[in-house]
């Protein structure tokens, strides 16, 4: 179940149209353009709401993503590495986002700091293929975990 705040956040992130993964050479380029446009809008929305909390970049092919995310609590900034690979079956399969430094720190983390999203996230992702992308995964996964810390 997605709470109202998360629902509002998701409604402001552009949906994607192209159903293509890394194996679909030409369509993958179109999908990556949509991913970047969605991420740019999501970051702009966050900055406007004074909720800037992550930076991402990818390799040339758009298959490996990495960056930083942070959380501010009691005027202290906690910063973490974030990383994930795009699965070959993307967008049907969601990426497994990892915060390696949080490995074993909370019940929502497993195997090298990967975020456990199976119960709520995966069914929601499956219902929204190909509309959901990286920005949606960040909003639903990483933002949730940083609130648990």
> What does the mean pLDDT of the chain come to?
88
pLDDT in tens, 102-129: 887 777 677 788 876 666 678 889 999 9
Domains of the chain (ranges, CATH numbers): 4-148 (3.10.110.10)
At 46-73, the pLDDT tens digits run: 999 998 999 999 999 999 999 999 988 8
Task: Give catalytic status of residue 69 as yes or no.
Answer: no
Entry pTM:
0.89
pLDDT value of residue 145: 56
Q: Span 93-104, mean pLDDT?
A: 88
Sign of CA dihedral 133, 139, 144, 147: positive
In three-state secondary structure terms, 78 is strand
CB 16 within 8 A of CB 91: yes
Closest CA to 38 of 10, 4, 71: 10
Task: With CA atoms as reference, report the closest residue to 89 among 20, 8, 15, 135.
Answer: 20
Helical spans, DSSP H, in 12-133: 25-48, 121-127
Q: What is the pLDDT of residues 25-43, one digit of tens each?
A: 889 999 999 999 999 999 9
Q: Which of 2, 15, 43, 116 is catalytic?
A: 116
**What per-residue confidence (pLDDT) applies to 104?**
76
Q: Contact at 8 Å (CB) between 99 and 81?
A: yes
């Amino acid at each position: 179940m997605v709470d109202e705040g998360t629902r509002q956040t998701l409604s402001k992130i552009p949906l994607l149209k192209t159903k293509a993964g890394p194996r679909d050479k030409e369509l993958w380029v179109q999908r990556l353009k949509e991913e970047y446009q969605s991420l740019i809008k999501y970051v702009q929305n966050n900055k406007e709401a004074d909720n800037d909390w992550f930076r991402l970049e990818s390799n040339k092919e758009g298959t490996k993503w990495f960056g930083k995310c942070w959380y501010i609590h009691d005027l202290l900034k906690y910063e973490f590495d974030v990383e994930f690979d795009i699965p070959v079956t993307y967008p049907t399969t969601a990426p497994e986002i990892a915060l390696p430094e949080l490995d074993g720190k909370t019940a929502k983390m497993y195997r090298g700091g990967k975020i456990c999203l199976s119960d709520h996230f995966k069914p929601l992702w499956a219902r929204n293929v190909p509309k959901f992308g990286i920005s949606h995964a960040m909003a639903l996964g990483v933002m949730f975990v940083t609130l648990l810390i």
